[in-house]
Amino acid sequence: MKYKYLSKINSLDDFKALDAMKLDALASEVRDYIIQVVSNNGGHLASNLGVVELTLALHRVYESPNDKIIWDVGHQSYVHKIITGRREEFKTIRKYKGLSGYPKRKESEHDIFETGHSSTSVSAGLGIALARDVLKDSYDVVSVIGDGAMTAGMVYEAMNHAGGLKTKFTVVLNDNEMSISKNIGGLSNYLSKLRTAPSYLNTKKDIKKILSSIPKIGDTIFRTTESIKNSLKYLVVPGVFFEELGFKYIGPIDGHNISELTKFLKIAKMYNGPVLVHVVTKKGKGYYPAEQNPDKFHGSPPFDIETGHQIKKASGQSYSSILGETLVSLSKNDRDIVAITAAMPLGTGLEEFKQKFPERFFDVGIAEQHGVTLAAGLACEKLKPFYAVYSSFLQRGYDQVLHDVCIQKLPVVFALDRAGIVGSDGETHHGVFDFSYLSHIPNITIMAPKGKEEFKKMIEFASKYKDGPIALRYPRGMSIEYNDYENINIEIGKGEIIRQGKEVAIIAIGHMVQEAVKASDTLLEDNIEVTVFNARFLKPLDEKSIDEIAKTHSYIITIEDNALIGGFSSYINNYFIKKDYKNHIYNIGYKDTFIEHGDVTSLYEEYEVDAGKIIEIVKERVLGKADGKK
């Protein structure tokens, strides 16, 4: 290994043994290593480059795993992984069967709490701190959270609680002014003021007040520790907001200066109550293309290090971009359309909409629940909100969907991006539960397109639909072209027969129609003709067509990119039971499990949700032939 210091860091102990004077050199090696690996594997580059010094300082001051460090979102935990004994495995990060891109308890005793969805770290950290108190233990608990993640309501629920309890607990706020895109909102404005405020603790009296509030030790430190006295200008009183919530505020601190960081984390460590340490970092630090475009390099595909050029393997147009493009085109004539994102204008394809219709575009921050009820409010006043949100993140807004939108039958469109398996982000991010968590809610229409043209028609349909909420779910990645735009007519609760066969019918929904078509083509080579039905709607179900299919086929195979329990298959199965149909039914979808990370193809194969599984069922179970799997 080419790295002089990093090559010797095989465990956290090795790191702790390193001479403090060498930490800056180690930081540059870690940066270089992350750039090398992420340029190959893809991953969260900019966030990790921003926290190199902060992570090193944290691990200098705290004794992990006895002290508990919790990473909010967890996408910035690469440096932590590298120095806690996973340097070599880091080369496999986000790969199938490799290291996860997020903290995982089974990977290491230093991964204290699993994250992936944002803004949970303060609640989790407080829970751990309270467990410590109940069990009369004495370690430290530190939650590291970004300014983007601070836009979520859950953080304030936790801070409100912590501030009232006064237990020993530290929150490190990593402020880089960015969520994935530029951060938004009142808190973000407030943090900018703190960053630029000239009024560092004005008088020694104020400083003494803070240090004195650290029982016993504080006074002594103030009197004796010269190095701290010299750094006192960094302690800022204006963190009133946090102070009023009951947190001692320390900051802002230069997040790329290891010795400053170490010094102030030590002060925080001494304080016997809730502390917020405000650290200022630069997202993408040390790699010019990422510093220039931190949003593009937030989560990056593999890229060329020299040019910063990102390598996109798949060709075609992504579903997200079709959503954005179609909404822009519809919104030119329909002034009622408004769009909402929860901190993901880029990921959801709404960037152009944001530019073209700024007054009709709302970025709510990482506040998915608020986004839902905001949409409900907009719809109350006859606007047509499209809330583009990742399927797994809408899990947070379940009650708001039910209580604020569906009961009132408000015409909100949930554009559910990243539905189904998403790949290397893994179990926290796969959108395989939306059919299940939505399908039992009354009043909601649920649909999924088989490909590009149908998706456009569904967006058009949804934009005109006034009779209640719609969930329109579609996968990550490139759309499939069927070139049938002119022939598609979206009618509520109507699907389409794509292939007419006999005996066996495949009832598919969304992009799994493609797998059904593939399977039927392969089976045709053996002169087996199967029917392929594209359901389009989970709800309302096309009962007329399903009745016809049930009556004319002995074997039914359902396929969906969702959990079987409560999903499309359950819906179909229940319908067959209700009608007392006696067909043989086989369901393809995800069993009762969380799905790991990896490339999508490997995952479909491992979890048996693909054309191969359809062929296997038809050959082995329907026709009684062995060796059916492709």
- Measure the CA–CA gap between 132 and 141, rounded to whole angstroms: 9
One-letter amino acid of 249: Y
Query: Of residues 355-384, which lie at the interface with ligand TPP (CB under 6 A)?
Result: 366, 368
Residue 424 in contact with ligand TPP, rule: CB under 6 A: no
One-letter amino acid of 567: G
Number of amino acids touching ligand TPP (CB under 6 A): 25
Least distance in angstroms from the C-beta of 380 to ligand TPP: 25
Determine how β-strand 531-534 pairs with β-strand 496-499.
antiparallel
Residue 154 in contact with ligand TPP, rule: CB under 6 A: no
For the question of residue 283 being annotated catalytic, the response is yes
Q: Which is nearer to ligand TPP, 132 or 370 (CB)?
A: 370
Query: Could you tell me how far CA 623 lies from the centroid of its own chain?
Result: 43
- Measure the CA–CA gap between 2 and 12, rounded to whole angstroms: 20
* Active-site residue, selected from the candidate residues 53, 351, 368, 453: 368
Q: Of these, 42, 85, 125, 148, which contacts ligand TPP (CB under 6 A)?
A: 148
Residue 126 in contact with ligand TPP, rule: CB under 6 A: no
Least distance in angstroms from the C-beta of 13 to ligand TPP: 28
For the question of residue 368 being annotated catalytic, the response is yes
Q: Of these, 258, 343, 379, 550, which contacts ligand TPP (CB under 6 A)?
A: 343
Determine how β-strand 169-175 pairs with β-strand 68-71.
unpaired
Q: Which is nearer to ligand TPP, 401 or 480 (CB)?
A: 401
Q: Of these, 76, 100, 326, 520, which contacts ligand TPP (CB under 6 A)?
A: 76
Give the single-character DSSP code of 247: P
DSSP string for 46-104: HHHHHTHHHHHHHHHHS-TTTSEEEESSSTT-HHHHHHTT-TTGGGGTTSTTS--SS--
Q: Of these, 149, 280, 509, 535, which contacts ligand TPP (CB under 6 A)?
A: 149
Q: Look at residues 329, 176, 325 and name the one whose alpha carbon lies nearest to residue 254.
A: 176
Query: Could you tell me how far CA 120 lies from the centroid of its own chain?
Result: 12
Phi, psi angle pair for 447, to nearest 5°: -140, 160
- Measure the CA–CA gap between 506 and 519, rounded to whole angstroms: 9
Q: Of these, 75, 81, 285, 476, which contacts ligand TPP (CB under 6 A)?
A: 75
Q: Of these, 47, 326, 445, 558, which contacts ligand TPP (CB under 6 A)?
A: 47
For the question of residue 285 being annotated catalytic, the response is no
Query: Could you tell me how far CA 567 lies from the centroid of its own chain?
Result: 21
Query: Of residues 300-339, which lie at the interface with ligand TPP (CB under 6 A)?
Result: none
Residue 60 in contact with ligand TPP, rule: CB under 6 A: no
Q: Look at residues 120, 127, 10 and name the one whose alpha carbon lies nearest to residue 74.
A: 120
Q: Which is nearer to ligand TPP, 148 or 274 (CB)?
A: 148
Least distance in angstroms from the C-beta of 56 to ligand TPP: 16
Least distance in angstroms from the C-beta of 31 to ligand TPP: 15
Q: Per DSSP, what are the bridge partners of residue 445?
A: 470
* Active-site residue, selected from the candidate residues 283, 456, 476, 499: 283
Query: Of residues 253-292, which lie at the interface with ligand TPP (CB under 6 A)?
Result: 283
Query: Could you tell me how far CA 244 lies from the centroid of its own chain?
Result: 31
Q: Binding residues for ligand TPP, per CB under 6 A?
A: 47, 50, 73, 75-76, 117-118, 146-149, 174, 176, 178-180, 283, 298, 342-344, 366, 368, 393, 396
Catalytic residues: 283, 368, 396
